[in-house]
Amino acid sequence: MSTIDFARSERSRLGLEWEIACVDRRSGELSPAAPDLLGRLGPPTAFPHVTGELLTNTVEIVSAPHHKAANAVTDLTRMVERVHRLAEPMGVQLMSSGTHPFSQWFQQQVTPGNDRYATLIDRTRWWGRQMMIWGVHVHVAVDDRDKVLPIIDGLLTYLPHFQALSASSPFWAGETTGYASNRALMFQQLPTAGLPPQLSNWSEYQALVDDLTRTGVIDVLSELRWDIRPSPRWGTIEVRTFDGISTANEIGAVAALTQCLVEHFSRELDAGRRIPALQPWFVRENKWRTARYGMDAIIIRNPAGDEELVTDDLRALVPALEPIASDLGCTSELMDVLEIVEHGASYQRQLQVAQAAGGSLKAVVSSLVRELLEGRPDRSRPAPAAGVTPDRSAQAD
């Protein structure tokens, strides 16, 4: 069995990756502008930088590693400004959401010259070509390899919180899906995506990777596209649950929440305490409920099956994490989680815009473009009223 080394890294330092869509300024349709934009930027030589992605309509902005969430977000916003300046003369605008409201997947181009992407599409065919989706990834460094898997198990309890806060994909190819995060369910159709297995130790993880490599399921470790995964190369845990997040302000909020939870679990392990974990079937149910109902989801909170509105649990969680946020210098960003709870997530704003514009999804794209440039959610409309919360049987998968 091969050994997977876990890089040394500074505890709780974080890095951010933000996938951004290029859209045509006149039509609002996706634009295959990424290769041209990357050519104008030149090759990345240091962080922060911009890279390509699976489709030619996407650029990914990658921050440098930072101890403070605010500094990582500043990296992203500065680079967005630079890319925007280059895109504007091309008639291209930038937006971020889990899916595009109305563009069609079969009209999108796969980035040429990348063997990894070619292999993915060759293997996954129709489902792979459907991956017209965008996300945000948050890396948080862990100081001991043996902490990684217990912390991931702990984070899976909060996967519905991550998903509800970032949900931004209520539309797919011009249709209103009825889901807060259609992206979450689209992405898990890939054979190595979705929820991670719950493993007891690093040896089990190495054995799993060895099995998958030997049988040709993966060629390299990065092809395990789990919602939350170890990232041994960087010495981090990578949370990939988030939809494409519409504003830098909201990225700061979910980054701070992720960083605080990882640090909290790390301290629990340092104190010799066990991190509580949910049964895999509860984790799977929570993912479905928040993909469907978003901020109105009733989630399963513990192994006993007790349930609570995800927003109520967030209102209790944020104050509990505030002492850790103070230590990490991200109190302001963590408090912004409550702003999302009170004023609504991106999917709710998108639905409001469409309704106010008589169903126009082009108006939704314009709103997303504006929000990205302004860096903050558009609060000009009243906060979405909480829906009548369905009973438990209505939310069961």
pLDDT tens string, the chain, 397 residues long: the values are 789 999 999 999 999 999 999 999 999 999 999 999 999 998 888 889 999 999 999 999 999 999 999 999 999 999 999 999 999 999 999 999 999 999 999 999 999 988 889 888 998 999 999 999 999 999 999 999 999 999 999 999 999 999 999 999 999 999 999 999 999 999 999 999 999 999 999 999 999 999 999 999 999 999 999 999 999 999 999 999 999 999 999 999 999 999 999 999 999 999 999 999 999 999 999 999 999 999 999 999 999 999 999 999 999 999 999 999 999 999 999 999 999 999 999 999 999 999 999 999 999 999 999 999 999 999 887 777 554 445 565 687 6
115 within domain boundaries: yes
Query: What CA–CA distance (Å, rounded) separates 150 from 82?
Result: 39
Structure token pair of residue 277: 């974990």
1 within domain boundaries: no
Quick check: helix, strand or coil at residue 214?
helix
282 within domain boundaries: yes
Look at the pTM and tell me if it is higher than 0.85. Answer: yes
> What pLDDT was estimated at residue 392?
60
Domain count, the chain: 1
Consecutive H or E run containing 90 = none
Got the DSSP string for 46-78? SSSEEEE-SBTTEEEEEPPPBSSHHHHHHHHHH
Structure token pair of residue 266: 């790390």
Q: Which residue has the tokens 């079969």?
A: 106
387 within domain boundaries: yes
Strands 49-52, 14-24: parallel, antiparallel or unpaired by DSSP? unpaired
290 within domain boundaries: yes
229: domain CATH number is 3.30.590.20
8 within domain boundaries: no
β-bridge mates for residue 239, sequence order: 138, 228
Structure token pair of residue 322: 């505030």
> What pLDDT was estimated at residue 342?
97
Question: DSSP state, 1?
Answer: -
> What pLDDT was estimated at residue 119?
86
Structure token pair of residue 276: 């509580």
- Cβ atoms of 121 and 178 within 8 Å: the answer is no
> What pLDDT was estimated at residue 19?
98
Query: What CA–CA distance (Å, rounded) separates 98 from 290?
Result: 14
**Distance from CA of residue 309 to its chain's centroid?**
21
Query: Domain span at residue 258?
Result: 14-395
Taking alpha carbons only, the member of 124, 138, 128 closest to residue 54 is: 128
369 within domain boundaries: yes
3 within domain boundaries: no
Taking alpha carbons only, the member of 148, 149, 167, 171 closest to residue 159 is: 167
> What pLDDT was estimated at residue 387?
45
Q: Which residue has the tokens 């505890």?
A: 11
SS (H, E, C) 323-358: HHHHHHCCHHHHHHHHHHHHHCCHHHHHHHHHHHCC
Report, in angstroms and rounded to the nearest whole number, the Rg of the chain calculated over CA atoms: 20
